[in-house]
Chains A and B, each alone.
Chain A
């Protein structure tokens, strides 16, 4: 029997366009799995020659889900090039903005994209295994998801000027002071959102028991993890330094400056995907980046952090660790990590509402070009985001490198698809059960391909079974 390929193209309910290829060996077992990103954005190229001050505005257009992450990373790279530290109120505003961003994006990922799998079941009819099916089956839950996302978007609008593609976050700080009226609007809703977040955790805990097989097979392999964390081990999402840990919790890189990322992280290009695959350099010897695989995002953040630093989230984290261990390796647990982070975000937003510094009117440091390179990093909802700019003496971009969370999870997503295909595959035939779970496995990482490849659109899924000579043996399709 010849080697056979299955192709899932496109993959649905993620942000962007991708396909998956499964190659079977002679025995009909899955031998290799590849996640291909079939869209190309090109921001790193067409930003060249543009002024530094435009970078938050341009790079935010990378994505409609997480423009905030790009605003923050771009502005921070701008801070470095201006050689300034933004005033404390600006830093508070940026933190508030990112908390709103993580809260809304995680709510989207959980309720709109993944809850149909989790609540209706992986084998539910694909025609209604979506957010509309969820609205019919569980209207209160769907409403809660929409409400939580709305709140996060409102925080974003308040701080950045718009729900999507705000423009008030700039190199040197922010452009507008935060007013008591704005604070009061957010403060009035925060208790409701915190309660909704807690109820979401209870909901997830109540259904987790149905997914033991998924828990064991969705990328439950050892890997490195990388994220921001405060020096004392508290969860961090905007400022400070990066820590990398191994699968056993041992620290591999402690508190390194994101500006030094090139020393530690390499980027592997691929002939069959527009997604670059960053890897940890010290573990790679040769052309195969896979030994340097590391994961970023909510699971990495809660594996690396000792604590959230807020009571309700910390209680949730303690319960989580009791059940799944100190270092959780299953990609299925990204969902849990997201919900815990939503609680932490709500608690931190509540705390910021009581912080008088937030309202200070000094919000921007002005300066000219004081360095020819600047690196800005932040925790996007999906994980570490790095913007690396080089500028000429007039402040025009001469080189740009964007390290996106989804790219950093690429090697792990490939490994996750392989692990799911092996667990749920049944000979050389495509089965719905396997395909549903492969998609759900990819979805666990909440990949955002628009961000990571510099494209547009949604993501229906096509599955192709190909013979080694390219002959189409079987095709399945989801729209």
Chain B
């Protein structure tokens, strides 16, 4: 995480019984990561806007019966939260199970097995069975793009691809279509990906995908290695003016 500059943190926040000082405007997730407290996330990605869709980062807030997503919870003075409890573990485990049940996630031959955040979350939350009926979606694989491939059966609708394409690449190829269980990501207002002229082939959507939904075409089982940190790198490099013509300045 990029170190902050400016005023010292001065907002007292208690996480799991330990008091920390937060910056004004910081989210609970940012604070937690800065002070080394692990809160699981899936849709959140540093360098992209906050989506708050997956609900894996929910925490218990003192005085509030509802669970709050840490990624979208801005710190306030005297905030007291619990990030680890049996209830939270169960809650998060069920979310992971529902994601497995909703899609068609077969790690055995998945291109992203070993480089999959959903797989890691399942391990972290002791998912050894799925207690829900599988939906068995039968969505066609979109392999029309010359370089990349989209398997919607493995998509968890985190919208990282939608956000990175819009906010970082500026191409806005991806969108969410439909709602609820019918929801799916679409390229170019629901065209085959390979026919979308706006796609710059940059591959950022593929690098940030947390599962095997987006991958480099032609990769076999376990061959896909995602690199979601690329976004934080790009955001920092952009702020630092890494790509300015320094010779001109000289």
Contact = CB atoms under 8 A, between A and B. Distances in A.
B143 interface: yes
7 smallest A-B Cβ distances: which pairs? A57-B109, A57-B221, A394-B143, A167-B221, A170-B220, A53-B220, A58-B109
Interface residues of A, number: 20
A170 B111 CA distance: 12
A167 B218 contact: no
B144 A394 contact: yes
A56 B220 contact: yes
Interface residues of B, number: 18
Contacts of A246: none
B115 interface: no
A167 B220 contact: yes
Interface of B: 108-109, 111, 140-141, 143-144, 146, 149, 151, 194, 217-223
A231 interface: no
Interface of A: 49-51, 53-54, 56-58, 60-61, 165, 167, 170-171, 175, 366, 368, 394-396
B143 A51 contact: yes
A427 B46 CA distance: 79
B223 A170 contact: yes
Given A167-B222, A396-B143, 17 more contacts: A49-B140, A50-B141, A51-B143, A51-B151, A53-B111, A53-B219, A54-B111, A56-B220, A56-B221, A57-B109, A57-B220, A60-B109, A167-B221, A167-B223, A175-B220, A394-B143, A395-B218
A369 B143 CA distance: 11
Say what secondary structure dominates the interface of chain A: loop
A175 B223 contact: yes
B108 A165 contact: yes
Say what secondary structure dominates the interface of chain B: loop
B57 to A, nearest CB: 32
B65 to A, nearest CB: 45
B244 to A, nearest CB: 36
B220 A368 contact: no
B221 to A, nearest CB: 3
Contacts of B194: 394
A57 B146 CA distance: 22
A60 B140 CA distance: 22
A370 to B, nearest CB: 12
Contacts of B222: 57, 167
A51 B108 contact: no
Contacts of A50: 141
A394 B146 CA distance: 8
**Most B CB within 10 A of own CB, among A54, A395, A396:** A54
Contacts of B109: 54, 57-58, 60-61, 167
Given A395-B217, A395-B218, A57 B141 contact: no
Contacts of B108: 57, 61, 165
B197 to A, nearest CB: 18
Contacts of A49: 140-141
B60 to A, nearest CB: 41
Contacts of A57: 108-109, 220-222
Contact of B146 (A53, A56, A368): A368
Nearest to A394: B143
Contacts of A60: 109
18 contacts: A49-B141, A51-B217, A53-B218, A53-B220, A54-B109, A54-B111, A54-B220, A56-B221, A57-B109, A57-B220, A167-B222, A167-B223, A171-B220, A368-B146, A394-B194, A395-B143, A395-B218, A396-B141
B221 A51 contact: no
